[in-house]
Amino acid sequence: MKYAVGVDIGGTTVKIGIFEENSKLIDKWEIPTVTEDGGKRIIPDIAESVLSKLEEKDIKKSDVLGVGVGAPGAVDDEGYMPNGAVNLGWKPFNLREEFEKEIGLRVIGANDANVAAFGEMWQGGGLGYSDMVAVTLGTGVGGGIITGGKIIAGAAGAGGEIGHIHIEDNESETCGCGNKGCLEQYASATGIVRLAGRRLEKDDTPSVLREGAVTAKAVFDAVKAGDKLACEVAEQFGYYLGKGLAAVANVVNPQVFVIGGGVSKAGEMLIPFIEPSFKKYAFNPCRCAKFAMAELGNDAGIVGAAGMVIKADE
Amino acid sequence: MKYAVGVDIGGTTVKIGIFEENSKLIDKWEIPTVTEDGGKRIIPDIAESVLSKLEEKDIKKSDVLGVGVGAPGAVDDEGYMPNGAVNLGWKPFNLREEFEKEIGLRVIGANDANVAAFGEMWQGGGLGYSDMVAVTLGTGVGGGIITGGKIIAGAAGAGGEIGHIHIEDNESETCGCGNKGCLEQYASATGIVRLAGRRLEKDDTPSVLREGAVTAKAVFDAVKAGDKLACEVAEQFGYYLGKGLAAVANVVNPQVFVIGGGVSKAGEMLIPFIEPSFKKYAFNPCRCAKFAMAELGNDAGIVGAAGMVIKADE
């Protein structure tokens, strides 16, 4: 039996999993991310934790195909991180080379969003597809583009930054990136709250959203309860997301969009809000793209990281 | 010495070239495209012409690596044309299989715009790059996306259909695709004429464009002569094209955009009109993309087709 290790480095914890090459998860655990001193302990900490777990499980290093790593920053095809990783304190360096030196195993590194996308294709909502776009609706809007079964890293490791596609000319507030009218300003959890706030201020239409804190979850719960104002907000969200994904479809023509992230917990009820606008704005041959929900949740990173290693030689 | 054949099938002529595997063109010629009877003679005609040329040049079939073919329609990774090719009278069929049966050589088929993009990467304006977007500004706006040296065909063979990205909410006229506000309505030769017409109607500003026929060429010639009104039209063209390419950059993060097609004959003077809007709308890490002009002209198709065969095994 051969094995692969999947590592997902976050700002507070590192998730690690050991998988059989048939994709079965044997064990998963977490260690804290120590970001002090420019994050210099992160890689040695992971290496030590992985190697001691392999020993504990009586798995020989020669039976490990390699270690896949998802990191929170741009990573190019050579494993170089041109901007480092701000959240970890990392300056620009070659993640793959450093990691290989430390752990003595083959390492494949990629951006964490792209790795999670790969996980969803290999074992989640994108199973059975090779041309897929993963859309992560969380605090921001992220994306991971896979064509012909391969992640598109992009020249600066910034492939799939779909949250910053310009989608609205009439926007007065500024996005975190400095522009105005980015997809992220309407389709992220924060964006949905913003849309709801604007709608609530517009007039006195009664709504359950006038009681308690307005969150993306509260909006979609209210939609499920038939709240008219919340439905209008969901329609606006869907209008913008569909319009943005139509642009993505015209570029890479995917078979499927897999929707994940915190907002996606609302479930498949999101899809009917997105599809009409998507079909309106997408070029006819690109309209065939399906919509599916992500299935792996927080495990998408470790699954995708291990999957990159297992699928690398196919 | 090994050889490759490049074939570019157009609606009126088929261009054919024989290349050495080092990329040197040995001979190129054209035959008419006979579209009668559902275009059933096209493939046999090409096969006969190629085989007799190989005999004439004393090139053994065993020394030919294969035949690359660009066709005017969607072609998936298996060589299947899901929509056939309207201009040729072709119904849906597998181009690769039919062609291989006819010619007795390995065939690789792809969409003609994507093949031309591949040619520009291999031998033209994109030489030295592996992540490239070719932008064709002709009667319409087409695109070809290459990442990691490979063409993105897309699920329906419609990868790179960037001309139909929605770019303007306030448009009253309808694009050929049925939508309103597509990039093609502003950045194609036809689109530039439309923008010029609107500007000329707006007021009485003097312009050389008020004399004679308004064409895209006339607009850029007037820009070169310092015509203020023409400059405004070029700025609008550049605003829309830059905005559209920014969306493309946020999806696939290319190293370079290579601008071709009839409009590109205006030369490098186009770039300063496009770049400001591109840099404004592109997400910061995606702004590094360079702009270059296509170099192969009408030969891009045969060069790219042969290149697909030569690079296929690398």
Chain B residue numbers with beta carbons less than 8 Å from the beta carbon of A161 are: 250-251, 253, 283, 285-286
Chain B residue numbers with beta carbons less than 8 Å from the beta carbon of A156 are: 253, 285-286, 288
CB A251 to CB B251 under 8 A? yes
| For residue A313, pLDDT beyond 80 | no
Q: What are the per-10-residue average pLDDT scores of chain B (314 residues)?
A: 96 96 96 95 98 97 97 89 90 97 97 94 96 94 93 88 96 94 96 97 96 96 98 98 98 97 95 97 94 96 97 80
Does A206 touch chain B if contact means CB atoms closer than 8 Å? Answer: no
Give the CATH H-level superfamily of domain B3-121+298-311.
ATPase, nucleotide binding domain (3.30.420.40)
The pLDDT value given to residue A256: 98
Does B126 touch chain A if contact means CB atoms closer than 8 Å? Answer: no
CB B152 to CB A243 under 8 A? no
pTM given for the model: 0.91
The pLDDT value given to residue A20: 97
The ipTM is: 0.89
The fold of A128-294 is: Nucleotidyltransferase; domain 5 (3.30.420)
Residue appearing with tokens 């050495």: B20
The pLDDT value given to residue B74: 87
Residue appearing with tokens 């190697």: A51
pLDDT tens column, A254-271? 999 999 999 999 999 999
Q: CA of A224 to nearest chain B CA: how many angstroms apart?
A: 31
Structure tokens at B12: 């009126």
Model confidence band, residue A66 (pLDDT cutoffs 50, 70, 90): very high
Chain B residue numbers with beta carbons less than 8 Å from the beta carbon of A281 are: 166, 179
Chain B, nearest residue to A164 by Cα? B283
Among candidates A164, A178, A289 on the partner chain, residue whose Cβ is nearest the Cβ of B250: A164
The pLDDT value given to residue A143: 92
Q: Give me the amino acid identity at B96.
A: R
CB B252 to CB A148 under 8 A? no
CATH hierarchy code of domain B127-295: 3.30.420.40
Does B162 touch chain A if contact means CB atoms closer than 8 Å? Answer: yes
**Residues sharing a CB contact under 8 Å with residue A272, sequence separation 6 or more, in sequence order:** A238
Does B140 touch chain A if contact means CB atoms closer than 8 Å? Answer: no
Rounded distance between C-alpha atoms, residue B311 and residue B77, angstroms: 15
| Domain range annotation of chain A | 3-121+298-311, 128-294
Rounded distance between C-alpha atoms, residue B227 and residue B67, angstroms: 48
CB A283 to CB B251 under 8 A? no
| For residue A74, pLDDT beyond 90 | no
The pLDDT value given to residue B313: 72
Long-range CB pairs of A100-106 (<8 Å, 24+ gap) are A102/A43, A102/A44, A102/A47, A103/A46, A103/A47, A103/A50, A103/A51, A103/A67, A104/A61, A105/A5, A105/A61, A105/A64, A105/A66, A105/A67, A106/A65, A106/A66, A106/A67, A106/A309
Does B174 touch chain A if contact means CB atoms closer than 8 Å? Answer: no
Chain A residue numbers with beta carbons less than 8 Å from the beta carbon of B145 are: 251-252
**H/E segment holding residue B258:** strand B256-260
The pLDDT value given to residue B156: 84
Q: Are A289 and A255 in contact (CB under 8 A)?
A: yes
Model confidence band, residue A158 (pLDDT cutoffs 50, 70, 90): confident
Same fold yes or no, A3-121+298-311 and A128-294: yes
Among candidates B148, B156, B285 on the partner chain, residue whose Cβ is nearest the Cβ of A288: B156
Does B206 touch chain A if contact means CB atoms closer than 8 Å? Answer: no
Chain A, nearest residue to B278 by Cα? A166
Share above pLDDT 90 across residues of chain A, in percent, rounded to a whole number: 89
The pLDDT value given to residue B197: 97
Q: CA of B25 to nearest chain A CA: how many angstroms apart?
A: 31
Please name the residues between 270 and 299 in chain B that touch chain A, using a CB distance below 8 Å: 280-281, 283-286, 288-289
Burial A139-150 (b: 16+ CB within 10 A, else e): ebbbbbbbbeeb
pLDDT average, residue stretch A289-297: 97
The pLDDT value given to residue A276: 97
- Alpha-carbon distances of B276 from A85, B188, B235, B243, B281, rounded to whole Å: 28, 19, 10, 9, 9
